[in-house]
Structure 1
Amino acid sequence: MTPAPRRLGLTGSIGAGKSTVARLLRERGLDVIDADAIARTVSSWPEVLRDVRERLGEAYVTDGALDRPALAALVFRDPEARTVLNGIVHPRVRAEAARQEANARSVWVVHDVPLLFENGLERGMDATLLVDAPLSVRVARVVARDGLSPEQVAARDAAQMPPEEKRRRASVVLDNGGDLTSLEAQLDAALVTLGVTS
């Protein structure tokens, strides 16, 4: 029987560069399970659309799909609605992530999870990797990437655990306030430190 893979939890605040690190990890031969990508898939399932319609309202499902901008506006101003939505989506995301992990080929499997610490999922990881950058850098990146206002980015950031607490909890922190060369060097050193690579 093949032993279960070891788990590396990858997380970072909005705009920190977590997706870039996930790509770099794939380039280094690691299986990466992307919780956001799974959530997007799961969010199109009929039973999820039904539950959102019943528990949050008809306005959040249009043309057979979630109205993502409307849902985002709701959950970032209403913690109770965020809890309801998470209760609908997260168990299904976890089940699909477990299925993907069972099919993984690498000894270490990366779980790319934006809310890793917020949801207590670090307890199921062998190590955690946090990507961080100064708030001003992160806000500028997200404004340029997504067209949100600085205030919208700040509101989304405020809904997450403070970066200082994430830094305290992480096994290794990557500082992504500089260039890609620096980030890659930090990542390669982190993988050696964690025993992912030699």
Structure 2
Amino acid sequence: MGTAEPSPAQLPPRRLGLTGSIGAGKSTVAALLRARGLTVLDADEQARLVTEEPAVLAQLEAAFPGTVATGKLDRAALAAQVFGEASRLAQLNAIVHPRVRQRIQALEAQAAQSGARWVVHDVPLLFEGGLDQGMDAVLVVDAPLEQRLKRVVARSGLSREDILARDARQLPAAQKRERATVVLDNSGDLPALERQLETALRQLGIHPAGQSLG
């Protein structure tokens, strides 16, 4: 006797990677996708939650003295110790990333149980971390450099030099565009971005309510 084919609800969800250079508008697109009923797994949010766990905080304080105070992570102090230091950053990633992956896998399993056909993985360093290899499609949000700089300065207070330094440590925007399944140009207004997103979802076969059309 043959094995029964799994029902659509039993199939693992397909993965849509979402990424973009600093200031491109990735968070805006993530919010638009959530509003359309898709499950969006935010890697940065999960990393923040991981670094609130007491066991992780203990490891971080041991590896990076002076970065934990009164049971909370001093993110600025940690950034000062690892920024631009490849070996220190690798040490940090070795502590945090495995736990982030576990949380993401658990959330993806929950989405599958609820019948989601697609799950969005919102990952700033999707290409840099090689995570695009595990995606069924990749959506890249982009905008001109000067426009991105203005946005980040306005919301963060960082200097142009700081933002440019961070941007330089990411894969160049042009290369992200080349490797994308679909590119959203966020140089215009929100309605223009929404129109592009609707077209992208249709192109990928994703129903606005989060269910595959295919």
The answer to whether TM tops 0.5 is yes
2:138 to 118, 128, 134: 128
User: Whole-Å Cα distance in 2 between the matches of residues 96 and 122 of structure 1?
Assistant: 18
User: Whole-Å Cα distance in 2 between the matches of residues 82 and 182 of structure 1?
Assistant: 38
User: Whole-Å Cα distance in 2 between the matches of residues 49 and 184 of structure 1?
Assistant: 40
Corresponding residue of 2:59:
51
User: Whole-Å Cα distance in 2 between the matches of residues 153 and 39 of structure 1?
Assistant: 21
* Cα drift, residue 196 of structure 1: 1.4
Percentage identity across paired residues of the two chains: 59
Corresponding residue of 2:96:
89
1:35 to 38, 43, 54: 43
Which amino acid letter does the alignment assign opposite residue 105 of structure 2? A
1:186 and 2:193 matched: no
1:21 and 2:29 matched: yes
* Cα drift, residue 75 of structure 1: 2.6
Q: 1:19-66: CA deviations, max 9, x gaps?
A: 1000100111101111111111001112211221222x2111122121
**Contact 1:118-1:160 at 8 Å conserved across structures:** yes
User: Whole-Å Cα distance in 1 between the matches of residues 106 and 26 of structure 2?
Assistant: 23
User: Whole-Å Cα distance in 1 between the matches of residues 76 and 128 of structure 2?
Assistant: 22
User: Whole-Å Cα distance in 2 between the matches of residues 20 and 64 of structure 1?
Assistant: 32
Q: Which stretches of structure 1, 4 residues or more, deviate above 3 A after TM superposition?
A: none
User: Whole-Å Cα distance in 2 between the matches of residues 53 and 14 of structure 1?
Assistant: 28
1:117 and 2:134 matched: no
**Contact 1:9-1:128 at 8 Å conserved across structures:** yes
Gap runs ≥5 in structure 2? 1-5, 208-212
TM-score (norm 1): 0.95
* Cα drift, residue 76 of structure 1: 2.5
Q: Cα RMSD between the aligned structures?
A: 1.3
* Cα drift, residue 73 of structure 1: 2.8
**Contact 1:43-1:49 at 8 Å conserved across structures:** yes
Corresponding residue of 1:156:
166
Count of residue pairs brought into register by the alignment: 197
1:141 to 140, 146, 151: 151
Q: 1:62-93: CA deviations, max 9, x gaps?
A: 22121111222333222222221112111111
1:103 to 91, 106, 110: 110
